[in-house]
């Protein structure tokens, strides 16, 4: 039997770091990554045959569980027709109509092949529509790996951004202003100084890439107001939150309407898909209607559209998201009880079907500085103990967890029993 460690060694010969996305490498966890063979429902199965209760869900899209039979059947029904045509297909229109119905702020939508493409294209659209260059993002929010977004904050809120990765030109980074998440006063100060230069704000309405950090009351409202006052475009990156925090995304949950919305792989039922859309008058600026160029050979892939249409249709079942949120609440409440009993400094936060576990004595975590102040060694020990017992959590202290409708009460109890043991070892 081939082990995960052996496969990692083999992969490292030809794949940088042995993985095709950095978080998979288990860097800092003092163990090789686990190579998975298959998945079903709430479970992953590794190459050695071990089963794990999974709270990653392919980073969000497996909201009805892995290998959903309805989704797979939709893909199989189209498979014999071909994999990709590079031409328009009717199923793309069906998907567009469904998205625009479920998220009313999206009057028009353009499909892409990834969330990174969606955010990159939305920012280009915002810049082209406003004739401005500067964008505002928030520390700890991740919007893909395009150059404009791999930028860290300068020494002050209004200083030039600095590249956070080699290969990002400093001249490009200067157009990105990075502010603190959940700091409306900082946003207001920024716009008071340079609001007329800002094309857009892009934000995760619930931050999911510094663990799970919901917005504080008034934060999203401030973003909407300053954009209105200064003629800037508000972009919600709902790659994680779309159809997961609520049926209409975080914007429906919090009652804030963005100008543009970016969606990710949940739109394709887990296949490589993204989308961006919003107000008709903005979207009409995209080629071939307008001058702002955006394209993709595989955008609107018919297999991915079939999978996504089927999955999104299932999410409209009455009570689906209420039940998902209740599962998350049960899990988080149980984790907190067991951590408190073991005198482990830990707290949880959640939003809809997303949750986060923070090893800290803080009562809340609201921003990147607080998230990075949590105990990474405690997370490493907890993650390892849970993995050994058959619970697969996100392999980073800065990633949110995801619940699915396939997780049973027994799966959650199994997780809580594993956590009780893990906490006792800490």
Which active-site residues does the annotation give? 142, 237, 265
Q: How far, in Å, CA of 210 to CA of 98, rounded?
A: 31
Structure tokens at 88: 């328009």
Give the closest residue to 235 by CA, choosing from 354, 109, 119, 96: 119
Q: How far, in Å, CA of 192 to CA of 201, rounded?
A: 14
C-alpha dihedral sign at 282, 286, 289, 292: positive
- 406 SS3 class: coil
Q: How far, in Å, CA of 211 to CA of 356, rounded?
A: 5
Cis peptide before 290 (omega within 30 of 0): no
Give the closest residue to 426 by CA, choosing from 364, 368, 382, 391: 382
Query: In Å, what is the CA distance from 379 to each residue of 142, 174, 290, 336?
Result: 21, 35, 49, 15
Give the closest residue to 401 by CA, choosing from 344, 331, 342: 331
Rounded to 10 degrees, the C-alpha dihedral 202/96/114/395 comes to: 80
For strands 43-46 and 51-54, give the pairing: antiparallel
C-alpha dihedral sign at 285, 291, 292, 294: positive
């Amino acid at each position: 039997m081939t082990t995960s460690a052996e496969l990692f060694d083999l992969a490292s010969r030809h794949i940088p770091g042995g993985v095709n996305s950095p978080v998979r490498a288990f860097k800092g966890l003092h163990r090789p990554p686990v190579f998975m063979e298959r998945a079903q429902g709430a479970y992953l199965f590794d190459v050695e045959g071990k089963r794990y209760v999974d709270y990653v869900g392919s980073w969000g899209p497996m909201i009805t569980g892995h290998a959903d039979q309805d989704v797979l059947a939709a893909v199989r029904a189209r498979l014999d027709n071909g994999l990709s045509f590079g031409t328009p297909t009717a199923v793309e229109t069906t998907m567009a109509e469904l998205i625009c119905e479920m998220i009313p702020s999206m009057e028009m939508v353009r499909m892409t092949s990834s969330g990174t493409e969606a955010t990159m294209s939305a920012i280009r659209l915002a810049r082209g529509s406003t004739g401005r260059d500067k964008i505002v993002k928030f520390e700890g929010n991740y919007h893909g790996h395009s150059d404009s977004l791999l930028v860290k904050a300068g020494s002050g809120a209004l200083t030039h951004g600095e590249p956070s990765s080699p290969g990002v030109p400093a001249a490009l980074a200067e157009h990105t202003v990075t502010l603190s998440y959940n700091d409306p006063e900082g946003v207001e100060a920024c716009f008071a100084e340079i609001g007329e230069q800002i094309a857009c704000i892009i934000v995760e309405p619930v931050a999911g890439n510094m663990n799970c950090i919901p917005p504080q009351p008034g934060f999203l409202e401030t973003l909407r107001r300053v954009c209105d006052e200064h003629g800037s475009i508000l972009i919600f990156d709902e790659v994680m939150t779309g159809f997961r925090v609520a049926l209409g995304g975080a914007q429906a949950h919090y009652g804030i309407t963005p100008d543009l919305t970016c969606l990710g792989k949940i739109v394709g039922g887990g296949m490589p898909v993204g989308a961006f859309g919003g107000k008709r008058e903005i979207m009409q600026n995209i080629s071939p209607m307008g001058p702002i160029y955006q394209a993709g050979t595989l955008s609107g892939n018919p297999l991915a559209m079939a999978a996504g249409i089927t999955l999104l249709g299932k999410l409209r079942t009455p009570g689906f998201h209420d039940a998902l949120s209740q599962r998350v609440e049960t899990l988080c409440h149980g984790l907190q009880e067991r951590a408190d009993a073991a005198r482990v400094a830990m707290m949880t936060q959640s939003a809809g079907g997303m949750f986060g576990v923070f090893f800290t004595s803080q009562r809340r975590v609201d921003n990147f500085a607080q998230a990075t102040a949590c105990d990474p060694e405690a997370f490493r020990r907890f993650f390892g103990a849970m993995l050994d017992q058959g619970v697969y959590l996100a392999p980073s202290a800065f990633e949110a967890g995801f619940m699915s409708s396939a997780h049973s009460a027994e799966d959650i109890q199994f997780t809580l029993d594993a956590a009780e043991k893990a906490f006792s070892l800490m």
